[in-house]
Amino acid sequence: MPDTDNAVGQLACALRRTRAALGITQGQAADIIGTSASTIQRAEAGLAAPQKSVVDGYVAQLGLNAKGATRLFEQATRPFGRQRRSLTQAPHPGMVSTRDELGRALARVWEEGNRSSMQDLEDRVQAARRDEARKPFVFLSRSAAYRISHRQQLPSGVEQLRAYLYACRIKERQFPVWIQAYHRVKTKDKEENKKTSDTEKHGWWRGYRAQSLADTIMLNAGLHPIEPFPRSATAPWTARCAACDQVGRFRLSAVRAGRGCRWCTTAPP
């Protein structure tokens, strides 16, 4: 069932109720509206805001209340109030598949919580740790909370993820979808690391062709090497970011996985 604590879930429930009141299936609704059954299924799942044309189809063809649908659609597709333009763009945790997406989603929940101070985040977890009736959380330091909320690192494990989510006032019944996202990202990281290890084992990063390929990967990521390639995908390599002009040490394996300049990544959206 969609999560009714947010506008996306509330809109999905409204779509479901409207279709159910007519006694028709998702496939039949798709035929009436003029779209695909998979589009209807995604709209009613509540994992992401549906297309406006789909909502309009429910209003025009299935009798969904137009005023209520418009209000929910606006809330589902735009951040609320003054923070509308400053919230990090991030997918629903159920759709997260990369480190970058998870980092942005974790930053977003902190921003939606009115950007609580790091001290407040630490204090909330500490208070929960003293509550014997609640399953205890691991300690969440101010520095760890800062690095996670500013996309400088992911939680060190599932327990730290739970503590961070609680500190950001995410309901505990919503934790499973975040934990699943975390496991997907970690599994993908392991697969990427194995590929890198296999590459190193076979010496694919040696010789002139490897240097040329490595340079191309870095340049495509907006990073300009200022020293020769160290002939290892996991060795630090000094480069300058074309976007922010910062000089840093990068690992080719991380760049290949989509992790580029950390200064650009943590810049305000």
240, pLDDT greater than 70: yes
Residue, of 131 and 138, whose pLDDT is higher: 138
Measured between its terminal Cα atoms, the distance across the chain in Å is 32
State the average pLDDT over residues 118-139: 83
Residue with tokens 């495509």: 220
Ramachandran angles phi, psi of 267, nearest 5°? -70, 150
pLDDT, averaged across the chain:
83
What local confidence, expressed as pLDDT, does residue 29 receive? 92
Which among 196, 204, 228 is positioned nearest to 215, based on CA atoms? 228
Band of the pLDDT at 58, cuts 50, 70, 90?
A: very high
State the average pLDDT over residues 104-130: 89
183, pLDDT greater than 90: yes
What local confidence, expressed as pLDDT, does residue 160 receive? 94
Residue, of 93 and 200, whose pLDDT is higher: 93
Q: Which of 7-21, 68-82, 101-115 has the lowest mean pLDDT?
A: 68-82
Residue, of 114 and 221, whose pLDDT is higher: 221
State the average pLDDT over residues 59-80: 82
State the average pLDDT over residues 125-143: 82
Helix crossing, 142-149 with 158-167: angle to 10°? 90
Ramachandran angles phi, psi of 229, nearest 5°? -60, 130
267, pLDDT greater than 70: no
Residue, of 250 and 3, whose pLDDT is higher: 250
- pTM summary value: 0.48
Burial of 35 (0-12, 13-18, 19+ CB in 10 A): middle
- Would the CA dihedral through 90, 244, 190, 172 be positive or negative? negative
Rounded-to-integer distance, Cα 36 and Cα 29, Å: 9
Residue, of 122 and 201, whose pLDDT is higher: 122
Q: Which of 25-34, 198-207, 232-241 has the lowest mean pLDDT?
A: 198-207
Highest mean pLDDT among 29-38, 67-76, 196-205: 29-38
State the average pLDDT over residues 113-131: 87
Band of the pLDDT at 5, cuts 50, 70, 90?
A: low
201, pLDDT greater than 60: no
State the average pLDDT over residues 169-187: 92
